[in-house]
Amino acid sequence: SEYVESLDVNMIISNITEKLLSPEAPQALNYLLLGFTDKSASQKKRLKLCQAIIKEIQSCDISNRSAVALVSRIAQELGSFPTSHLVAIAEACVDFIRASESDSQTSWKDLLPKVLSEVGSHREVEYAGAEMSGAEFKQRIIQVICSSSWNPGIVTSLAAMFIEIQLSEEEHQQVVNKLCNFFDKMSPQEIPPLIHQMLVLCKNQHGVTVFLSLRKYFNSKIYTKNDASEDLDSITEVCESGSKEVADCESMVLYHTEESAKLSRGCVTDLLKFTKTCASIPEIILDPFLLAVLLSLSTISAYEHQVMETLKNGILRSAQEEERRKDSAWLRQMVSPQNDFNQVLVKLIQSNVCTRDKVLKGLVNFCMSLLNIQASKSKEGTAEILWNYGRHSLVYVVKRHRQVAQTVLKTLTDHIITGQNVTQYTDCLVKLCSVAPLVVIDNLLILVRLLDFLGQLPPAIARRVITAVLSLVRISTKLRDSFILILRKALFSRDIETRKIAVMGFLQLLKLLKVKGLAALSQSEQSFSGPSVFTQIRMEVHTQ
């Protein structure tokens, strides 16, 4: 201690800063700090040394490991600092924040929260020529930081710093708002690390502000550039919207949101409560980015029911309001058109974020949940609206993402085979076979399995299944021949309705293939490859 106190402070600073880049620097600083006493002169030397080291860390290219070790050692000494020295360290940190330009200049990030925590417990603090409490000083420093100009390169570090500072609700809102205002000033690669910190910062409050700001950001970068003017029936090629950097950014944001949901952070719960409340204002939640977030969250069992119900209510409310607007000239003048869910869906599927497994899985599950709605006498119109959305959505998803076709087709056929009132499923199957025939043909075994149950289906449902299959027989000889064999078997059924279905199927098939008589059947088979099933039918007809 005596040796350290005898040394000139400038010499101490010179020696330590020369060794700052060496691995021994943290240990050297530790020895020096242990040598200072409680005397006023010694404490002043310690303050100057700490300020010099923080300044050097800011300006030189020191490794992150060494910087953390040095700052942590200084932080350990803060408990023995007098109030005036703590104020000086806090002021130095604020100055460094204003001057910092990149994440490599963030020595203040780990130090300032500890300084403010220490000062906050003091009853009297002198700052800027005025006396105040430690809590008031802390509040003043936060106000100064928030009113300062920040370089976008340090925003992520600032978010991490504010996590460690206990903020009032008003201060927290001010900090979150300022951080969100930097989205447009940052590159897409910088946003996911910032969102990771902000979701932690907002784990108990103001999480909705973050998601609404992200909604605005991605709409401007991706979704407003994609007008999605095509409808679900006419679109054939789906373009990739937005730059790859922004798309990757959105995907990483969803990943961090999913991780927050797994940790049960309040920001996710607040978002779900907000969307439920906004079901009466569907244009807020019927948005591609928020829809992607909600669909991703729906794959987590704890949130699935709430998300599905919220989206159903929002879609239904949007459709009902648009219907009222069309029926009233006054409403058409006063109220702007509602967002069409089909158009929102097109925008979402055209974006790269829909290639994420959880978003795609959530979307398929949601479409199926729309088809699963049971129609009661009092709510037939409601069910029809939701069925229509579910049918169009599923068809477009399968057309765009073939990897889900097997799951969708199997689910549809299972419902058709085992259900009672299944017109919504047969309508979806008919549409799917018409719009995406090659995708269905790639999963032929599922369709053949459904045909095996043709004789056991109610007549109306069987007719719809036949209508779906007929759109495929021209492009698949294997399906055509399986279909003919199943119809031939049905012709000899004891049930008259089954025989009627078989006759109807054959007549439709003859009409489709433009076969004018039995004599032409053997000729028509020459235009196809495969077994001579037509000839077998003609022989059986003549022998009976």
Same domain, 184 and 74: no
Which residues sit opposite 127 in a β-bridge? 130
**Considering just the CA atoms, what is the radius of gyration of the chain in Å?**
35
Distance CA 443, CA 304 (A): 29
Average pLDDT (426-437) is 93
The pLDDT score that the predictor gives to residue 4 is: 66
The pLDDT score that the predictor gives to residue 227 is: 54
What is the b/e burial string over 434-448, where b = at least 16 CB atoms within 10 angstroms of the residue's CB? bbbeebbeebeebbe
* One-letter amino acid for residue 380 of the chain: E
Q: What share of the chain is helix, strand, coil (3-state, %, to 5)?
A: 75, 0, 25
Average pLDDT (433-441) is 92
Residue with the larger pLDDT of the pair 16 and 86: 86
Give the range among 52-56, 86-90, 251-255, 297-301 with minimum mean pLDDT: 52-56
Please check the confidence at residue 527 and state whether its pLDDT lies above 50. Answer: no
For residue 525, what pLDDT band results from cuts at 50, 70 and 90? very low
The pLDDT score that the predictor gives to residue 117 is: 92
Domain boundary among 370, 400, 430: 400
Structure tokens at 509: 């098939």
Same domain, 262 and 395: yes
- For 153-203, write each residue's pLDDT tens digit: 999 999 999 999 999 999 999 999 999 999 999 999 999 999 999 999 999
Distance CA 370, CA 376 (A): 14
The pLDDT score that the predictor gives to residue 516 is: 55
Length of the chain: 544
Work out the angle between the directed axes of helices 380-400 and 423-435 (0-180°, nearest 10).
30
The pLDDT score that the predictor gives to residue 378 is: 57
DSSP state of 203: S
Work out the angle between the directed axes of helices 169-180 and 191-201 (0-180°, nearest 10).
170
Backbone angles phi, psi at 105, to 5 degrees: -115, 60
Same domain, 414 and 479: yes
Distance CA 50, CA 33 (A): 9
What is the sign, positive or negative, of the torsion defined by CA atoms of 374, 375, 376, 382? positive
Residue 161 domain-assigned (yes or no): no
- Where does 100-206 have alpha helices with state H? 108-120, 134-147, 155-163, 169-180, 191-201
For residue 65, what pLDDT band results from cuts at 50, 70 and 90? confident
For residue 136, what pLDDT band results from cuts at 50, 70 and 90? very high
Average pLDDT (20-28) is 82
Average pLDDT (237-257) is 78
Same domain, 261 and 370: yes
The pLDDT score that the predictor gives to residue 56 is: 85
Average pLDDT (363-391) is 83
Full domain range(s) for residue 123: 1-145
The pLDDT score that the predictor gives to residue 331 is: 67
Residue 151 domain-assigned (yes or no): no
Same domain, 1 and 130: yes
Please check the confidence at residue 533 and state whether its pLDDT lies above 80. Answer: no
How confident is the prediction for the chain on average, in pLDDT?
84
The pLDDT score that the predictor gives to residue 338 is: 60
Q: What DSSP line would sit under 401-449, residue for residue?
A: -GGGHHHHHHHHHHHHHH-SS-HHHHHHHHHHHHH-HHHHHTTHHHHHH
DSSP state of 373: P
The pLDDT score that the predictor gives to residue 152 is: 92
The pLDDT score that the predictor gives to residue 538 is: 45
Same domain, 21 and 81: yes
For residue 543, what pLDDT band results from cuts at 50, 70 and 90? very low
Structure tokens at 216: 């605005």
Domain boundary among 374, 400, 426: 400
Q: pTM higher than 0.75, yes or no?
A: yes
The pLDDT score that the predictor gives to residue 528 is: 44
Same domain, 415 and 291: no
Distance CA 159, CA 153 (A): 12
For residue 143, what pLDDT band results from cuts at 50, 70 and 90? very high
Residue indicated by tokens 């089954």:
498
The pLDDT score that the predictor gives to residue 375 is: 72
H or E stretch including 130? strand 130-132
Residue 150 domain-assigned (yes or no): no
Residue 46 domain-assigned (yes or no): yes
Residue pair 427/463 in contact by the 8 Å Cβ criterion: no
Please check the confidence at residue 535 and state whether its pLDDT lies above 60. Answer: no
- For 322-368, write each residue's pLDDT tens digit: 677 677 777 666 766 666 777 888 888 888 888 899 999 999 999 99
The pLDDT score that the predictor gives to residue 380 is: 63
The pLDDT score that the predictor gives to residue 57 is: 84
Same domain, 448 and 389: no
Residue 160 domain-assigned (yes or no): no
- For 230-243, write each residue's pLDDT tens digit: 454 544 444 444 48
The pLDDT score that the predictor gives to residue 450 is: 92
Residue indicated by tokens 């069409």:
340
Cβ count near 473 (within 10 Å)? 20
Domain count, the chain: 3
Please check the confidence at residue 295 and state whether its pLDDT lies above 90. Answer: yes
Same domain, 490 and 382: no
Please check the confidence at residue 379 and state whether its pLDDT lies above 80. Answer: no
Residue 334 domain-assigned (yes or no): yes
- For 439-472, write each residue's pLDDT tens digit: 999 999 999 999 989 888 888 899 999 999 998 9
Residue 218 domain-assigned (yes or no): yes
Q: What percent of the chain has pLDDT over 70?
A: 87
Residue 235 domain-assigned (yes or no): no
Same domain, 354 and 316: yes
Domain boundary among 145, 178, 212: 145
Same domain, 415 and 370: no
Give the range among 27-41, 98-112, 225-239 with minimum mean pLDDT: 225-239
Same domain, 346 and 438: no
Residue pair 122/134 in contact by the 8 Å Cβ criterion: yes
The pLDDT score that the predictor gives to residue 524 is: 45
Distance CA 2, CA 36 (A): 8
